[in-house]
Amino acid sequence: MIPWIASHILTITIFLPLVGVLPIMMLPRRFEEGSRAIALFFSLITFIASLAMWWLYQINAVDNGFTLIEQHPWIPTLNFQYFVGIDGVSLLMIVLTTLLIPLAILGAWNEIKTRRKEFMGLILLTEVGLLGAFAALDLFLFYVFWELMLIPMYFLVGIWGGKHRIMAAMKLLIYTLFGSLLMLVAIFVVYAKSGYQMNLIDLYQMKLDPGIQLWCFMAFALAFAIKVPLWPVHTWLPDAHTEAPTAGSVILAGVFLKVGAYGFYRIAMPLFPDAVLQAQPLLMSLSVIGIVVGALVAMIQPDMKRLIAYSSVSHMGFVMLGLASLTTEGVEGAVLQLVNHGISTGALFLLIGIIYSRTHTRQISDYGGIAKVVPWFSAAFIFVALSSAGLPGLNNFVGEFLTLMGGFAYGKVYGVIAAIGVILGAAYLLWLVERVFFGQVTNEHNKTLKDLNPRELTLLIPLMLLMVVFGVYPKLLLDPCMGSISTFLQLMGR
Amino acid sequence: MELIIAAIKAIVIVALILQLIPVLIWFERKGSAYIQDRRGPNRAQILGIRLGGMIHNLADVVKLFCKQDIIPTKASRIIYVVAPMIAIFVASATVGVVPFAEPLHLGGLTIPMQVADLNIGILYILGIGSLGVYGVMLGGWSSNNSYSLLGTLRASAQMVSYEIAMGLALIGLFLVTGTVRITEIVSQQTGFHWYAFTQPIAFVLFLTSLFAETNRNPFDLAEGESELVAGFHTEYSSMKFALFFMAEYAHIAVGSLIVSLLFFGGWNLPGLDFDWIRVYPEAALSMGLPALAVGAIAFGLFLCSKFRRHKYNDARDYEVLIFGVPHVLIGFLMIGATLLLHGTTLPTWVGPVLVAALQMGVVLAKTLFFCAFFIWVRWTLPRFRYDQLMDLGWKGMIPVALFNIVITSAWLVFVH
Amino acid sequence: MEITVHHYIVISCLLFIIGIFGVLTRRNLLIILMSVELMLSAANLALVAFSRFSSHLDGQVAVLFVFIIAAAEAAVGLGIVIAAFRHTSGVRVTSWKELKG
Amino acid sequence: MIEAYLFYFFAVTTVLLAVTVVVQPNPIGAAVSLVGTFFSLAALFVLLHAHFVAIMQIILYAGAIMVLFIFVIMLLNLEPEKVKLRTIAGNRLVQGSAALYLAGVIALAFFGWRQFFTQGVVANEMEGTIEAVGKLLLTDYLVPFEMTSVLLLVAIIGAVILARKPVE
Amino acid sequence: MIEQLLQHISIPTLMCLIPLLPLLGAIANGKMYLFSTRSQWKPSHALSGTIAVVMPLISFLIVAVLFYIAMGLEDSHSVSTGPLFTWFGGTQWAVTIGLKLDQLSLIMALVVTGVGSLIHLYSVGYMSHDDGFAKYFAYLNLFLFFMLLLILGDSLPLMFVGWEGVGLCSYLLIGFWFTDIEKAKAGKKAFIVNRIGDFGFVLGIFFIWQALQPTAQPGDAILSFSYISTHAAFLAPVATAATLLLFLGATGKSAQIPLYVWLPDAMAGPTPVSALIHAATMVTAGIYMVARLNFLFVLAPTTLNVIAIVGCATAFFAATMGLVQDDIKKVLAYSTVSQLGFMFLALGVGAFSVAIFHVMTHAFFKALLFLGSGSVIHAMDGEQRLSMYGGLRKHLPVTFTTFLIGTLAIAGIWPFAGFFSKDAILWHVYSSGHFWLWLIATLAAGLTAFYMFRLVGLAFFGKRNPAGPHHVHPENSVTMLLPLVVLAVLSIIGGWVGVPHAMGGHDHIMTWLAPLFPTALHEAGNESTELFMGLGSMTWGAIWAIIAWILYSQHRGWADQMAARFKRCYTLLVNLYYVDQIYDAVVVQPLLWFSRSVLWQTVDAVLIDKILVGGSARIARLFGRVGTAMETGLVPHYVFLLVLGSVVVLGWMIL
């Protein structure tokens, strides 16, 4: 029994949440609260499964290929395969997802009152989509999971969102769909050009001629850029975040954006190395603009969630900076930043969710001086804000440091401008902290705020611990990815 | 050359039909009278001779011709006038394809005893038959009178639906005959193999739908006197009414002609063997003529015996004689002819001509029999209600016809 | 003067043109249906002419099918006329505009 | 010779009657002239030795379809329509030109394909008898034949539903 | 006794203990404070106070022991733990975490831990009535941990960690009483300005890394000081740029000209905090960094000149600004800025060891002055304005005497520490030929003496100002007085460590630091001129001191007349040259306006949302409308289209 599980651990992890959806659906309307517990239970099992996967990965880690591979014919006639496997980076992403989803569920424990069953079901569905996307090594399979994760998210934002959630959900959907349809076209172009090959490993060896490469890369890049949100196509993120429920934004910011960057890392770049070289200056400048503009615009946002959304635009700009710089440091930094940004932004959104569940307002002007009233909450918030601002010793610093190094190595100007982003990062976060926490308590409503209850603590403690651990010892994250990064760079011809 | 022959034939046949119509009219009035236990028309007389009502026809004809021809003001004039013409044209046109006898082989010339021997045969009849509806519809509609409109609606609906039944019945027949040419069908019915017996269902269906086509009694809702006054031809006066009237009777004649040909073996009589006659006309004559003579004489004497001098104290008493005496004379003539012919050989064309004449005679006899049947049915059965009519048509006859087709085809498949 | 297939074709074209003319100009749906019948029969003529002069009977079989289709079309067309008539108590084609986009 | 004359006679009658159908303000008039057209067409078919088709034309068109038309005309007792040849958007010129263009195109099409009918003139003895057509119909074209039966069924149902009085 | 100690604890673990102990203290206090907010249990001041004081004391002792050991080692006088674990790194290079104590960092460590523990002791008394007692000490210990990390770090990134950590603690401590929004704003300002400085620092690191990368073998710790010093040659091309950026970082941290604005505002924090952070330790980090990377700075003479000029300018400007300040802590803040200017001036002219000597002496007397002012404020229960003081001589005798000693030291009067270090700087500036810089520096030194004695005069001499608080709390808590006394002693004997040969001393500190720093760039002029210059600067300082003392203790009126006459320049000085306002107007507001109106409104809202997204929707609707226009509902239209279509198709087929 055990060896079977060991060999199919990856598929089990991916489809475990799906198994969870079934009991939730069977629940009669009266036991709706039970659905939360079931969802939590299944997401925790998936987390444990992913840890087991990590352990297995350590054991039989082949240095630069994919492990835990499962390859079965899916549509034999069209040569589509169910081909999944993981390397260091996808392992990290999977563990990050399985970590954040239970926290998101825990975070939304009593925030969601209406239709809990559907909510929990949708979250588990998103998780399946995400895990699948990270593990898929077959282009078409990737596309299927890519779409699978988008739809539940649309519903999450659309149904349980804020005031104009419909607009936000629609924007999210159309933006991403626009991109993914282009991607589908590109997939089939590649499929045709490469002699009906869909699995990535063979495609990596296949060198397409530069003309087609550029177009396909542009299509893929656009689809992933929308997801990452690179600067010009990012406007869906702030709306989606402000309107999404807490759990939604945690997943959205924590993992949803990562798929875009992961897509670049896994599919867009290695498949079209020459096109990447041509498009590198464009990518670099877009990410740098993203960093600075994201930070600047974040500074003057009246709404907390919008501020954090723009901050994640800026942070993801760092990731793209690292990736596009095609230097080992840059890519390492990008991978680190992917995980760390997920943790810190996820924590930030959870905190905002907590305060929102008490005051039901996200406007900064409604707050003031609540540090005295809720010391634990403010301590946690400041801690996480600082980690997100990239304080050394906490998790984001090393990632930013390395990405900046990568950017610097590519072109000094890019490094300098991106470094300005670091200053702005500190500026808007501290300004937020100051306006919300310090000074006198402005409106009376804040006087009676309750501090963190045990549930919320169990939510935050693990994340804060991780922030310190990954800050002090990032090697923990980097070691598994070394092999995958070096293969990535070889593919890119560096 | 063929054109001339065709023209002659056309004229002859049309004249024959037109002659038949007054006879039918007379027979109908006389027959219906006797059925209703009253004496028929017996007033019109020429010089005291009444001929049992035949003269009445002349009176009718004269009346119809002389009446004032009224055209209703609001009616759409042209169609109002054309409608009866269509009706009569349709009735007479179908005759064109009807064969009266086997093709005559006279000195290398084969003259088909019909106007046009179309290989599509019966379909032609069906086609023209379906045009009959126009006459009725246009006439009724153009006279701009609500009664006539109602009549037309009913008539056309009835004719259209029964046309289908007729078509399907014929298909049943075609299955058996395998051909559509009427001459072949008739020649297949030698002896007692009349299709009426092999295809009883088809025969019955065809007959009833024929009644419907001609708006005859059980189905004569079109001009049902009780409700719709005169149906579609209420507004028609003299000549046009006459045309409609004649069209109807022509249609009956032609209908019965077709029935006799298709189902009653046309010119085949069980006893007669035409080939033998054609070869030995003399023997045939010598046998046939005396028999005929004896019959004629017997009939004539029977009539004369009915002579009563003072029954009516006028010319009518002598009528019986007018009929009886000629018969006796003919009888004697025939006996003389046989005696005269005895021992001589007739010229070759006499055989076929004799056969043709005989065949025509047989066909005519059968047609007259069916006309009588038509008239007899008219005055016995009550009129259908409209929904019964329609139900019978759609739910009764068409399913049965289909059933018949299925059965015959199944039978054919198993047999071969 | 031998009758060639072109004569028939010219006639069928003429008929077709008249049919189209009728469909385009007339406002009364019935007339339009009739013109459509006209166009169909024009097609029939052409079919038969071709089958005759190319010694294949397929043309005639096609004509049969055209008949059937014409009959079906007429039946449904008239059904529509009646239904539409009940609605607008007139057969003028221009009075039925509800389906405007 | 006789055939040529007959052909011209019937051709002219067909075209004339067709024109009256289109021009005739009064629907009944149009219907009757259409019946006339069908008759002359049937005659043309006979000239083309397509007897079965001719008689079918008469039975089907004249006998059945036109009856329906006249039936409907009677049922709806339509008053004659003022024929204003003014058509859509007033420009008779447009559709006129369209029609002419179409004629030219069709004629061109057929003449263009002349080479296909080189032996156009030669009339062969293939008689359009009912047996020949029937045999062909039920052998090569059996499937379309069955299909048409389905089509007819559909048409019947459609007509019935459409024309039915709305059930209150 | 030390040998037994060494038997069972190896040196590396000892070294690790130095930073970890304050960290432990911080965590303990932090936990207690957080639990206290939740539950009723309040940690007693004694408990958290003792933990907070003991930790730095022990680490001070450890540093002393290591100092003694290092003294013993002849050759390198340095002790290092070697790479403990690799933090992160690329394939070729890696960043390892390791601690190193050489001559320079030993001195700095001694100063930091020594003064630190004294200040901890002092703040136990000072903060006794504050409810955030445990939180305060947690922050303070955390600060010490980061400062020690900064000093002990053996590689640039580790130093950077300490660098940012120290910035964080200063933010937390300045904004300690965050209920007052102004204080919170000051904290935020400090942190952001520091962050700008760090921006320069990081870029400097990148330059170095990029230059060194090609030389690295796999796994080399290329960013560690030892590696950089050995491969200094490779850095030549990139030296000037790197050093300039590093200096930008230093100005941020040590509050030099462009980025000094945060220091005066930092006075919002509790006074012991200002004493520890903004006088003794944090602000000197910049100098320590430049000293640590002296072999790099030497490669870039232009940068050295820049540093000298900036240092001298800051010294002079800060001194002028200090003249007119009414708040006691603000005066001391500006004096610190000017003293830092002096230190940077020394670095600029290449006298690295003299700069470090001045750092040490400055730490002693500046901490003393701050703590003195703290006890004055404590006595006047929070009143900070000099105008409200006057005649406190009688009420606070100990504070007065120690404060006087400190003032004498900073003014550079002979026996006191300040004289030796400041004089050495002036001498080295003069001897290295920078005459104009020397002139401005001596002028600044005179001004320093003037405003210090102005402060003493206003505060301790003259009559009590009736408007001020009536009742003066007696200075009775030992915990506050003991550090004052100790620091006073130190500010006296502190100078004697570095008495130059010219004045008969054998200059221990120079010899101690000599191996680290390159020999003085210029030959040290003959001794007689050095002696003469020293006496000259002392008398110059004394003269200014006496003038200030006369002006402000006896005849207050004169000062006001003086102020009235130079009306314009007086207001200029009072408003601190409007520097803050300029910064705000030039940098902050336009940035905010730009991001709000330009970036957010126009770019995101209009450009992307309206035009791109909205636009494409509108185009789609346009096509839709064209489609509907075709559907008029009229059957003939459709037929016409049908015909048209067929015509086209036929035409195409034929042609």
Q: Does C89 touch chain E (CB under 8 A)?
A: no
Stretch B83-105: mean pLDDT? 82
Give the gap in angstroms from C-alpha D83 to the nearest C-alpha of chain E: 15
Instruction: Copy the structure tokens of residue B412.
Output: 């054919």
Q: What is the pLDDT of residues D68-98, one digit of tens each?
A: 888 888 777 666 655 554 444 445 555 566 6
Q: Which among B104-118, B267-281, C30-44, E176-190 has the top mean pLDDT?
A: C30-44
Chain C residues touching E629 at Cβ < 8 A: 101
Helix (H, G, I), strand (E, B) or coil at A194: coil
Give yes or no for residue D165 having a pLDDT over 80: no
How far apart are alpha carbons A258 and E232 in whole angstroms? 41
Q: What is the pLDDT of residues B23-35, one digit of tens each?
A: 888 888 888 888 8
What does the angle CA B40 – CA B45 – CA B50 come to, to the nearest 5 degrees? 55
Residue span of the structural domain in which E645 resides? 581-654
Does E635 sit within 8 Å of C32, measured CB to CB?
A: yes
How far apart are alpha carbons D41 and C45 in whole angstroms? 8
The continuous run of DSSP H or E covering B286 comes out as helix B281-305
Q: How many domains does chain C have?
A: 1
Residue span of the structural domain in which C86 resides? 5-90
How far apart are alpha carbons B87 and E310 in whole angstroms? 126
Stretch D123-134: mean pLDDT? 66
Residues E481 and E588 in one domain: no
Axis crossing angle, helix B200-213 with helix B398-415, rounded to the nearest 10? 150
Q: Hey, how many other C-beta atoms are within 10 angstroms of the C-beta on E345?
A: 32
DSSP string, E302-360: HHHHHHHHHHHHHHHHHHHHHHT--BHHHHHHHHHHHHHHHHHHHHHTT-HHHHHHHHH
Nearest-by-Cβ selection for A299 from E171, E179, E595:
E595
Q: How does residue D120 score in pLDDT terms, banded at 50, 70 and 90? A: very low
Instruction: Copy the structure tokens of residue A119.
Output: 């909510």
Axis crossing angle, helix A412-437 with helix A304-325, rounded to the nearest 10? 160
Q: Over pLDDT 90: what percentage of chain E?
A: 0
Name the burial class of residue B42, with classes exposed (0-12), middle (13-18) and buried (19+) by CB atoms within 10 angstroms of its CB.
Answer: middle
Q: Which residues contact A52 (CB under 8 A, 6 or more apart)?
A: A9
- CA D29 to the chain's CA centroid: 17
Nearest-by-Cβ selection for C97 from E630, E634, E643:
E634
Confidence at residue B406, expressed as pLDDT on a 0 to 100 scale: 92
Does A386 sit within 8 Å of E185, measured CB to CB?
A: no
Chain C residues touching E636 at Cβ < 8 A: 23-24, 27, 93-94
- Asked if residue B267 lies in contact with residue B34, where contact means CB atoms within 8 angstroms, the answer is no
Q: Does D100 touch chain E (CB under 8 A)?
A: no
Stretch B253-270: mean pLDDT? 84
Q: Does E630 touch chain D (CB under 8 A)?
A: no
Q: What is the pLDDT of residues E528-555, one digit of tens each?
A: 777 788 888 888 888 888 888 887 777 6
Residues E503 and E641 in one domain: no
Answer yes or no: CATH 1.10.569.10 is held by domain D2-126: no
How far apart are alpha carbons A368 and A447 in whole angstroms? 10
Provide the phi-psi class of C12: left if phi over 0, else alpha when psi is between -120 and 50, else beta. alpha
Closest-approach residue (CA) in chain A for E201: A419
Under-70 pLDDT residues of chain A: 61-64
Confidence at residue D126, expressed as pLDDT on a 0 to 100 scale: 58
Q: Hey, how many other C-beta atoms are within 10 angstroms of the C-beta on E260?
A: 26
Give yes or no for residue E583 having a pLDDT over 50: yes
Domain end point (choices E231, E258, E274): E274
Q: How does residue B403 score in pLDDT terms, banded at 50, 70 and 90? A: very high
Distances from the Cα of A390 to the Cαs of A327, A335, A404, E165, in angstroms? 21, 15, 12, 11
Does D105 sit within 8 Å of E651, measured CB to CB?
A: yes
How far apart are alpha carbons B210 and B370 in whole angstroms? 11
Q: Does C98 touch chain E (CB under 8 A)?
A: yes
Does E634 sit within 8 Å of D88, measured CB to CB?
A: yes
Give yes or no for residue E117 having a pLDDT over 50: yes
Stretch E67-86: mean pLDDT? 75
Q: Hey, how many other C-beta atoms are within 10 angstroms of the C-beta on B390?
A: 17
Give yes or no for residue E181 having a pLDDT over 50: yes
Number of H helices, E strands in chain B: 16, 2
Nearest to A254 by CA among A96, A121, A78, A417: A96
Residues E421 and E393 in one domain: yes
Distances from the Cα of B280 to the Cαs of A318, B285, B343, C51, E209, in angstroms? 124, 9, 12, 50, 137
Give the gap in angstroms from C-alpha D142 to the nearest C-alpha of chain C: 11
Rounded to the nearest 5 percent, the helix, strand and coil shares of chain D are 80, 0, 20
Confidence at residue D115, expressed as pLDDT on a 0 to 100 scale: 46
- Which chains neighbour C (Cβ–Cβ under 8 Å, 3 or more pairs)? D, E
Confidence at residue A300, expressed as pLDDT on a 0 to 100 scale: 82
Helix (H, G, I), strand (E, B) or coil at B105: strand
How far apart are alpha carbons A83 and A197 in whole angstroms? 12
Q: How many CA atoms lie within 13 A of A130 on its CB side?
A: 33
The continuous run of DSSP H or E covering E647 comes out as helix E635-654
E residues 178..237 contacting A (CB < 8 A): 178-181, 183-185, 187-188, 191-192, 195-196, 198-199, 202-203, 206, 209-210, 213
- Asked if residue E184 lies in contact with residue E175, where contact means CB atoms within 8 angstroms, the answer is yes
Give the gap in angstroms from C-alpha E166 to the nearest C-alpha of chain A: 11
Domain ranges in chain B? Answer: 63-270+377-415, 277-346
The continuous run of DSSP H or E covering B230 comes out as none
Q: What is the pLDDT of residues A31-78, one digit of tens each?
A: 778 888 888 999 999 999 999 888 888 887 666 678 778 888 888 888
Confidence at residue D119, expressed as pLDDT on a 0 to 100 scale: 47
Q: Does any domain span residue C82?
A: yes
Confidence at residue A47, expressed as pLDDT on a 0 to 100 scale: 92
Nearest to E177 by CA among E142, E130, E137, E141: E130
Confidence at residue D118, expressed as pLDDT on a 0 to 100 scale: 46
How far apart are alpha carbons E91 and A130 in whole angstroms? 30
Q: Name the DSSP class of E468.
A: S
Q: Does any domain span residue C64?
A: yes
Domain ranges in chain D? Answer: 2-126, 129-168
Q: Does A431 touch chain E (CB under 8 A)?
A: yes
E residues 120..139 contacting A (CB < 8 A): none
| Helix ranges, E213-280 (H) | 225-230, 236-254, 262-266, 271-275
Closest-approach residue (CA) in chain C for D96: C21
Across A455-459, C65-69, E231-235, least confident range: E231-235
Q: What is the pLDDT of residues D1-17, one digit of tens each?
A: 777 888 889 989 998 99
Token pair 């980690």: residue = A387
| Helix ranges, A411-474 (H) | 412-437, 454-472
Helix (H, G, I), strand (E, B) or coil at A68: strand
Q: How many domains does chain E have?
A: 3
Three-class secondary structure assignment of E483-541: HHHHHHHHHHHHHHHHCCHHHCCCCHHHHHHCCCCCCCCCCCCCHHHHHHHHHHHHHHH
Give yes or no for residue E465 having a pLDDT over 60: yes
Residue E312 one-letter amino acid: C
Output the pTM of the full model. 0.69
Chain D residues touching B119 at Cβ < 8 A: 51, 127, 129-130
Sign of the alpha-carbon torsion through E169, E170, E173, E175: negative
Q: How many CA atoms lie within 13 A of E50 on its CB side?
A: 4
Does D64 sit within 8 Å of C71, measured CB to CB?
A: yes
Give the gap in angstroms from C-alpha A10 to the nearest C-alpha of chain E: 29
Each as own residue / partner, the long-range contacts of residues E222-226 (CB below 8 Å, 24 or more positions apart, any chain) are E222/E93, E223/E93, E223/E95, E223/E155, E223/E156, E223/E157, E224/E96, E224/E98, E224/E154, E224/E155, E224/E156, E225/E100, E225/E154, E225/E155, E225/E156, E225/E292, E225/E293, E226/E154
Across A101-110, B109-118, E396-405, least confident range: B109-118
Give the pairing of strands B109-111 and A67-75.
Answer: unpaired
Residue E50 one-letter amino acid: T
The continuous run of DSSP H or E covering B53 comes out as none
How far apart are alpha carbons A275 and E96 in whole angstroms? 37
Q: Does any domain span residue C41?
A: yes
- Asked if residue B202 lies in contact with residue B122, where contact means CB atoms within 8 angstroms, the answer is no
Give yes or no for residue D18 having a pLDDT over 80: yes
Token pair 């994919």: residue = A66
How far apart are alpha carbons A127 and A46 in whole angstroms? 10
Q: Find the CATH number of the domain harbouring C64.
A: 1.10.287.3510
Reported ipTM exceeds the 0.85 cut:
no
Q: What is the pLDDT of residues B218-252, one digit of tens each?
A: 777 766 655 556 667 777 777 888 888 888 888 88
